[in-house]
Amino acid sequence: MGIIHNFKTQFYICLKMRNLNHYILKFTATVLFCFISLFAGAQLPKLIFSPQWLPQAQFAGYYIAKERGFYKEAGIDVEIVHPTTSLQVTAMLKSGKADVISLFLTTAMTCKNQGLDIVNIGQISQHSAILIVTKKSSGISELKQLNGKKIGVWKSGFDELPKALIAEKNLKVEWVPILSTVNLFMLDGIDAMTVMSYNEYDQIINSGLDENELNVFPLADLGYDIPEDGLYCLRSTYEKKKSELNKFLISTLKGWQYTTENKDSALNIVLQTMQLAHVPANKAHQDWMLGKTLELINPGHKTVKPGELLETDFMNAATIINKRDKSSSTYLFTDFYKKPIE
Amino acid sequence: MKNRTLAATIIRSVLLFCIGIFAVIFSIYYYYTRETIKETTRENAIFLANNTVNQIEQVLNPIEKIPDIIARMMESSFLTEDSLIPFLQSILKNNKTIFASAIAYEPSYFPEKGLYYAPYVFRQGDSISTTSLGGENYEYFFMDWYQIPKMTNSSYWSEPYFDEGGANILMTTYSTPFYTYKNGVRTFSGVVTIDVSLEFLKQIMSKLKILDTGYAFLISRNGVIITHPNQKYVMNESIFSIAKANNQPGMRSVGRNMVQGKSNFASADFKSKFKSGKLWINYISLPSSHWSIGVIYPESEMFASLRKINIILMLLVVFGLSLLSVFITRIINNITKPLKLLASSARLIASGNFNVKLPEIKTHDEMEELCDSFIYMQKELAEYIVTLKDTTSAKEKIESELRIAREIQMAMIPHIFPPFPDLPQIDVFAVLKSAKEVGGDLYDFFVIDGDKFCFAIGDVSGKGVPASLFMAVTRTLVRSISDKETSPSVIVTSLNKSLSDNNESSMFVTFFLGVLDLKTGLLKYCNAGHNPPVIIHGNGEVTMFEKTKYIPVGLFEDFDYQEISLQLEDGDKIFLYTDGVSEAENVDNKLFGDDTLMNIVSQNAKATPRDLIHRMEEEIATHVNGFTQSDDITMMTIVYDGKHNRS
What CATH number has the domain bearing residue A203? 3.40.190.10
Domain closes at, from A191, A222, A253:
A222
Measured between CB atoms, does B257 come within 8 Å of chain A? Answer: no
Name the architecture of domain B208-300. Answer: 2-Layer Sandwich (3.30)
Q: CB–CB of A3 and B168 under 8 A?
A: no
In the predicted structure, residue A10 carries a pLDDT above the cut 60: no
**3-state per-residue secondary structure call for B550-582:** ECCECCCCCCCCCCEEEECCCCCEEEEECHHHH
Q: Please judge whether A2 and B164 are an interchain contact, meaning their C-beta atoms are less than 8 angstroms apart.
A: yes
- What pLDDT is attached to residue A42? 55
**Residue A10 domain-assigned?**
no
Q: Do A158 and A257 share a domain, yes or no?
A: no
Tell me which H or E stretch contains B638.
Answer: strand B633-640
CB neighbour burial string for B379-412, b if at least 16 within 10 angstroms, e if fewer = eeeeeeeeeeeeeeeeeeeeeeebeebbeebeee
Edge-to-edge strands, sheet with A118-123: A77-80, A46-50, A100-104, A229-234, A118-123
Confidence at B346, pLDDT banded by 50, 70, 90? confident
Query: In which domain, by residue range, is A167 found?
Result: 130-222
Residue A38, pLDDT > 70, answer no
> In this structure, are A135 and A265 located in the same domain?
no
Quote the CA–CA distance of B646 and B567 in Å, as a whole number. 16
A40 close contact with B: CB closer than 8 A: no
pLDDT of residue B166: 52
Q: Which residues contact B421 (CB under 8 A, 6 or more apart)?
A: none
DSSP conformational letter for B548: P
Percent of chain B's residues with pLDDT above 90: 46
Q: What pLDDT band is residue B356 in, cutting at 50, 70 and 90? A: confident
Same domain, A211 and A82: no
What's the pLDDT at B217? 93
B413-646 and B208-300 share a CATH fold: no
Q: Mean pLDDT throughout A242-271?
A: 95
Quick check: B168 and A179 CB within 8 A?
no
DSSP string of B419-458? S-TT-TTEEEEEEEE-SSSS-SEEEEEEEETTTEEEEEEE
A14 in a structural domain: no
For residue A131, what are the contacts with CB-CB under 8 A and spacing of at least 6? A194, A195, A196, A197, A201, A216, A217, A218, A219
pLDDT of res. A8: 36
Domain B413-646: top CATH class: alpha beta
Q: How many CB atoms lie within 10 A of CB B110?
A: 10
The interface residues of chain B toward chain A in range 187-206, judged by CB-CB distance below 8 A, are 193, 195
Tell me the H-state helices in chain A: 7-18, 20-40, 60-67, 70-74, 89-95, 105-113, 160-168, 183-186, 200-205, 235-240, 242-261, 263-276, 283-297, 311-325, 333-336
Q: Are A102 and A90 in contact (CB under 8 A)?
A: no
Q: What percent of chain B has pLDDT over 70?
A: 98
Same domain flag for A209 and A239: no
Do residues A308 and A236 both lie within one domain? yes
CB within 8 A of A198, min separation 6: which ones?
A57, A58, A129, A288, A289, A291, A292, A293, A296
Please check whether residues A121 and A235 belong to one and the same domain: yes
pLDDT at A25 over 80: no
Tell me the pLDDT band of A41, cut-offs 50, 70 and 90. Answer: very low
The Cα–Cα gap between B581 and B617 comes to 9
CB A113 within 8 A of CB A167: no
Establish if A261 belongs to a structural domain.
yes
pLDDT number for residue A7: 36
pLDDT band at B375 (very low <50, low <70, confident <90, very high): confident
pLDDT of residue A147: 94
Which among A222, A255, A276 is the end of a domain?
A222
pLDDT at A13 over 60: no
So where are chain B's domains?
1-194, 208-300, 413-646
DSSP B236-280: T-BHHHHHHHTT-HHHHHHHHHHHTT--EEEE-SS--SSS-S-EE
| Burial classification of residue A259, based on how many CB atoms lie within 10 Å of its CB (0-12 exposed, 13-18 middle, 19 or more buried) | buried
**C-beta separation of A53 from A82 below 8 A:** yes
| Alpha-carbon gap, residue B286 to A187, rounded angstroms | 16
What confidence category does residue B7 fall into, taking pLDDT thresholds of 50, 70 and 90?
confident
Confidence of residue A11 (pLDDT cuts 50, 70, 90): very low
Give the mean model confidence (pLDDT) for residues B460-473: 85
Q: Tell me how far apart the alpha carbons of residues B283 and B450 are, in angstroms, rounded to a whole number.
A: 146
- Which CATH number fits the domain B1-194, given the four candidates 3.20.20.70, 3.30.450.20, 2.40.100.10, 3.40.630.30? 3.30.450.20
Instruction: Work out the average pLDDT over A144-156.
Output: 92
Burial tier of A327 (Cβ tally within 10 Å: 0-12, 13-18, 19+): exposed
Q: Do A262 and A119 belong to one domain?
A: yes
Q: Find residues 93-122 of chain B whose CB sits inside 8 Å of chain A.
A: 99-100, 102, 120, 122
Between CA B158 and CA B175 the distance in angstroms is 8
CA distance to partner chain A, nearest, from residue B48 (Å): 26
Mutate to test the interface with B, among A1, A3, A17, A187 (most CBs of B within 10 A): A3
pLDDT in tens, B184-214: 899 999 999 999 988 888 888 888 888 888 9
Q: What average pLDDT does range B610-621 have in this prediction?
A: 92
pLDDT confidence band for A36 (50 / 70 / 90): low
Q: Which of B 153-182 lie inside 8 A of A, CB atoms?
A: 156, 158-159, 161-166, 168, 171, 173
Residues A122 and A231 in one domain: yes
Q: Parallel, antiparallel, or unpaired for β B573-577 and B264-267?
A: unpaired
Report, as an integer, the average pLDDT of A155-161. Answer: 81
Asked whether the predicted pLDDT for residue A27 surpasses 70, the reply is no
Position A272 pLDDT exceeds 90: yes
Residue A302 placed within a domain:
yes
Cβ atoms within 10 A of the Cβ of A148, count? 10
Contacts of A2 in chain B (CB under 8 A): 99-100, 122, 163-165, 171, 173, 195
Task: Report the share of chain A in percent with pLDDT over 90.
Answer: 66
Q: What is the DSSP string of B139-150?
A: -GGGSHHHHHHH
Question: Residues A112, A136: one domain?
Answer: no
* A80 and A202 share one domain: no
pLDDT value of position B647: 52
User: Does residue A197 share a domain with residue A173?
Assistant: yes
User: Cα distance from A281 to chain B (closest Cα, Å)?
Assistant: 7
Per-residue pLDDT tens over the stretch B479-530: 999 888 889 999 999 999 998 987 888 899 999 999 999 889 999 999 999 9
CB–CB of B147 and A186 under 8 A? no
Q: At residue B590, what are phi and psi to the nearest 5 degrees? A: -90, 130
How far apart, in whole angstroms, are the C-alpha atoms of residue B28 and residue B109?
73
Mean pLDDT over the full length of chain A: 86
Does residue A300 share a domain with residue A153?
Answer: no
Which pLDDT score is estimated for A32?
55
Interface test with A, best of B226, B241, B247, B291 (most A CBs within 10 A): B241
Using CA atoms, how far apart are residues B472 and B51, in angstroms rounded to an integer?
132
Number of neighbours of residue A35 by Cβ within 10 angstroms: 10
* The pLDDT value given to residue B381: 86
Q: From the candidates B151, B242, B259, which should be mutated to test the interface with A, based on the most A CB atoms within 10 A?
A: B151
Does the pLDDT of residue A53 top 60, yes or no? yes
Q: Confirm whether A36 is domain-assigned.
A: no
Q: CA–CA separation, B186 vs B75, rounded Å?
A: 9
- pLDDT tens readout for residues B68-104: 999 999 888 887 888 889 999 999 999 888 999 999 9
Q: How confident is the model at residue B412 (pLDDT cuts 50, 70, 90)?
A: confident
Distance from CA of A147 to the nearest CA of B (A): 18
- As a whole number of angstroms, the distance between CA B611 and CA B618 comes to 10
- CB distance from A17 to chain B under 8 Å? yes
- Among the ranges given (A198-202, A263-267, A313-317, B167-171), the one the predictor scored with the smallest mean pLDDT: B167-171
In sequence order, the 6+-apart residues with CB closer than 8 A to the CB of A186 are A204, A207, A209, B221, B222
| Residue B232 pLDDT | 85
Count of domains observed in chain A: 2
Residue ending a domain, among A169, A195, A222, is A222
Is A4 among the domain residues? no
Whole-angstrom distance, CA of residue B235 vs CA of residue B252: 17
pLDDT digits (tens, 9 = 90+) for A170-226: 999 999 999 888 999 999 999 999 999 999 999 999 999 999 999 999 999 998 999
* pLDDT value of position B165: 57
Question: What is the predicted ipTM?
Answer: 0.79
